[in-house]
Structure 1
Amino acid sequence: MKLSAKKIVYVSILISQALVLNIVESFIPVPIPVPGIKIGLANIVTLVTILMFGFKDSLIVVVLRTLLAQLLVGNITAFLFSVSGGILSACIMYIVYKRYSRYFSLVGVSVFGSVAHNVGQLLVASIVINNFLIFSYLPVLMISGIIMGIFTGFVANFFRKYIKNIEYNSRW
């Protein structure tokens, strides 16, 4: 499979944008100081990548953004939580976008991804601490995931019209 230089540049820019949003987000205080609740700004870029390029490239963006962020500011355990949530989120968002877009808007796709991200992180946490009671924390994370998913979905939807211009004016 031959990749064009143009596509490599676009995906690299998306990875950079996701990394910057991830780092900026770490400086934004969350109104409710509950562990694991984040805005999920980098998920905007994941949604944009799904719209522009599809599933494979969205996974590349998620994994490389997560790896680079953890190399800069985190540790290996945080990487496992983040990458598992990010991969599950990208998978669910892609499936909902491709198969159920007639039922769900981009905001709905984002909400599914946000909730999936939280489930993925709890799954890894339950394995790491060897205790599945951590899933009792899921209702709190689902509520925050729905709220944050709505926000990131609206932002990604705002960029959708600009993405279409890029899609139609380029051949990968």
Structure 2
Amino acid sequence: MKLQGKIKKQIFLAILVSIALVLHLVEAMLPNPFPIPGAKLGLANIITLITLMLYGLKEGLIVAILRVILGSLMSGTFTGPAFLISLSAALSSTFLMSIFLKFKNVFSPISVSIIGAITHNITQLFVVALLISTFNIYLYLPFLLLVAIPVGISTGYIAGLVKSHLDKLGYK
């Protein structure tokens, strides 16, 4: 890759991190739209999914990790339980989404996003279970999945739309 191409990619990745961070912070300021504590819209995951579709796992992990680190620094949760829960869930869902994206003929961005949302919730509960020393927290999983599936659908739909527009613009 030429130097100009590498610089263009780095700039675009910085923009993706910035957008993910803004979405993360805006979502943190909004009241929870769901009656289920801990359930979120996952707006920043749109950017992670777009990054995975455009570049792959390495770049997707970079965007996810930087978003979690910067978001936790800005919200004052860095190195606390919320940071550990968020980072673990972001890493696992990003990794799993990248695997399923390899099968483009079988899995759409929507189905990959649903898988990511479910993985995110399962990982969050696993980390919480380790932190509080009980796996009874998994009784909460069905309630989280009631939110994860429609959120995953909307996140995947939006990511797919953005990716198709970027494709039309010739952006890679």
Residues 133-172 of structure 1 show CA distances to partners (whole Å, capped at 9, x for unaligned) of: 1111111111211011011111111112122245x455xx
> Residue 118 in 1 paired to residue 121 in 2?
yes
8 Å Cα contact 1:52/1:163 also seen in 2: no
Aligned residues with identical type, % of pairs:
42
**Pair 60,169 (structure 1): closer, same or farther in 2 beyond 3 Å:** closer
Alignment-mate amino acid for residue 23 of structure 1: L
**TM-score (norm: length of structure 1):** 0.91
Hey, what does 1:68 align to over in structure 2? 70
Alignment check: 8 A CA contact 1:48 1:163 kept: no
Per the TM alignment, residue 86 of structure 1 is displaced from its structure 2 partner at its CA by 0.6
Residues 60-99 of structure 1 correspond to what in structure 2 (within 5 A)? Answer: 60-75=62-77, 76-99=80-103
TM superposition shift of 1:79? 0.7
Unaligned runs of 5+ in 1: none
The AA in structure 2 aligned to 1:52 is: L
TM (normalized to structure 2)? Answer: 0.91
Tell me how far 1:2 sits from its aligned partner: 8.7
The structure 1 segments of at least 4 consecutive aligned residues displaced by more than 6 Å after TM superposition are none
The CA distance in 1 between the partners of 2:100 and 2:146, in whole Å, is: 19
Q: Which runs of 5+ in 2 are unaligned?
A: none
On the 8 A contact 1:14/1:61 being kept in 2, the answer is: yes
Size of the alignment, in residue pairs? 168
- Counterpart secondary structure, 1:26: helix
Tell me the residue number matched to 1:41.
Answer: 43
> RMSD across aligned C-alpha pairs, in angstroms?
1.7
